[in-house]
Amino acid sequence: RAESDVVNLMRQYITNYHFGAAPDISELIEFEKEYNLINDNNLMRYEQEAIDLRRASETGFREEFVGKLRASIEAAQIQIAELNQALKGKRFGTDSYEIITRPSDNPEFKTYYDIIMDSDAITKHTLFTENLSKRKEVVLMELFNKIASFDPENDKFALQFLDYRYYMSYDIEVTSENGNKSYFSKVSKEKSGGETQVPFYIVIAASFQQLLSKNKRIDAGCMVLFDEAFNNMDESRIDAMMKFYNSLSIQLFIAVPPQRVSNIVNYVTTSLAIVKDNDFAIVEAFKREVA
């Protein structure tokens, strides 16, 4: 019975697949060879499919990573350009300011930046194919290996490589009324007072305005509280700074000592005078009397 069933199965296989063997138990070794051949071929095919799938997924990850990183850098550049437009033509005292961005001063990040922002490679949408040179492909593979590494010593660096801000350097260009230019990174080490406070408040404005631009789909506001703001700045710088802030989408709450009220009051919609009386604070609406 069992032998008859096997012979019938052999006959069916010969008919269905045109196998060149006789439907006889004596030919069983030929069927075994056929089985091993098919099995080995399938394993090889599945192994190759797995390799191809892995390569495709890795390529997809790389292209998506580079695309998102480039988009973040470009978005930051656009936001800074908008802030510079708001700063254009404004003088804070005798100086005007412009936020400057460039590739990172760190050689490693700069190398990655140059490849990621390569316009020709991006335009042709072939970053990881024939358009990317072998040297650049090797460099980017080093970056991906660092990101994918699970070595605790590399975790800190992996996080940095995921953050677009590390691929850029930032500064503020200061232009005096006679056209001389300097950079805040240098001025901040040599001067004090209004010269250093103005760039500080410009950077604060840039930070909050960038947050607003990044989350513009969310119906929410932005409130910024300054305590004893502009304490080292003269009147002309304060006037220019308030005009600049009023051009942005930021709601300011400013606490200033009495001597600064006259510089601020014309640029705000609400003024409150706060007087401390022992353990209590008295709050009264403040209105400037116009003669």
pLDDT of 145 strictly over 50: yes
Predicted confidence (pLDDT) at residue 144 exceeds the cutoff of 60: yes
pLDDT in tens, 36-61: 777 766 656 666 666 666 666 666 76
User: Hey, what amino acid is at 63?
Assistant: E
Residue range 126-134: mean pLDDT, rounded: 58
pLDDT at 219: 65
pLDDT for the residue 105: 92
> For residue 248, is pLDDT > 60?
yes
Place of tokens 């708001």: 86
Domain segments of the chain as ranges: 2-47, 193-291
Of 108-112, 160-164, 227-231, where does mean pLDDT reach its minimum? 227-231
User: Is 289's pLDDT higher than 60?
Assistant: no
Tell me what pLDDT residue 106 has. Answer: 93
Q: What is the pTM of this model?
A: 0.63
**Strand pairing category for 223-227 and 251-255:** parallel
